[in-house]
Homo-oligomer: A and B are copies of this chain.
Amino acid sequence: MELIGMLDSPYVRRVAIGLQLLGLPFTHRSISVFRGVDQLAPINPVLKAPTLVADDGTVLMDSTLILAWAHTVAAPRTLAGSDALHAARVLGLALAGCEKAVQLVYERARPEEKRHAPWVERVTAQARQAFALLEQAFEQRPPTALDDAAMTAAVVWTFTQDLLPGLAPPEAHPRQRNWAAQAEAHPAFRAAPHGDGVYPVA
């Protein structure tokens, strides 16, 4: 299968790491959804990254759906009961923090006169709440394995620290900081580093 998208997107990166953790081989093309429209449009005219092209040519989008499908190929999910509930809580908070961070990055990319202060204020507050609650969730139950939820939390942390320093100060979120540091040392993370590079690292 082929994964398309740049590793500076936390959504692309969580798929690149998740496929490795599932033991599914893939090739990667680092194409921008903006500068690479001419290359991307023939593959996925919706212009979404990550885009995954399955071996039969089916084109998927949405990182959660791609990972859910990958689980059906590789290994059934085994979480149940309160583990499944806690994982859904953690992943929901990480994806909410990520969505709001991405919205702030897009807003910042607009001409200044097109930015809307009440929107920025609302989305900033939402992101901060998400990261604060994620910190609490990690305090209640520290992450131990690179399941989709804990893996994604680390990816989102790295992305947010790089693009929006100050949004979630590390000193106020020591558990996420430490967990991300630990996760980033894993071979699957190192093979798909945050940035605009290509997986796998040479």
Contact = CB atoms under 8 A, between A and B. Distances in A.
A132 B45 CA distance: 10
A135 to B, nearest CB: 13
Given A111-B116, A116-B111, A116-B114, A72 B79 contact: yes
Nearest to A59: B89
Given A68-B88, A91-B65, A48 B96 contact: yes
Contacts of A114: 114-116
Within the oligomer, what is the number of copies of this chain? 2
Given A111-B116, A116-B114, A85 B61 contact: no
A132 to B, nearest CB: 8
Interface string A71-96: 01000000110101110110111011
A46 B126 contact: yes
B115 A61 contact: no
Nearest to A96: B46
Q: Which of A72, A88, A110, A122 has the most CB of B within 10 A?
A: A88
Contact of A60 (B59, B79, B92, B110): B92
A54 B48 CA distance: 32
Interface of A: 45-48, 54, 56, 58-62, 64-66, 68-69, 72, 79-80, 82, 84-86, 88-89, 91-93, 95-96, 110-111, 113-116, 119, 122, 125-126, 129-130, 132-133
5 contacts: A54-B85, A56-B85, A60-B88, A62-B91, A113-B113
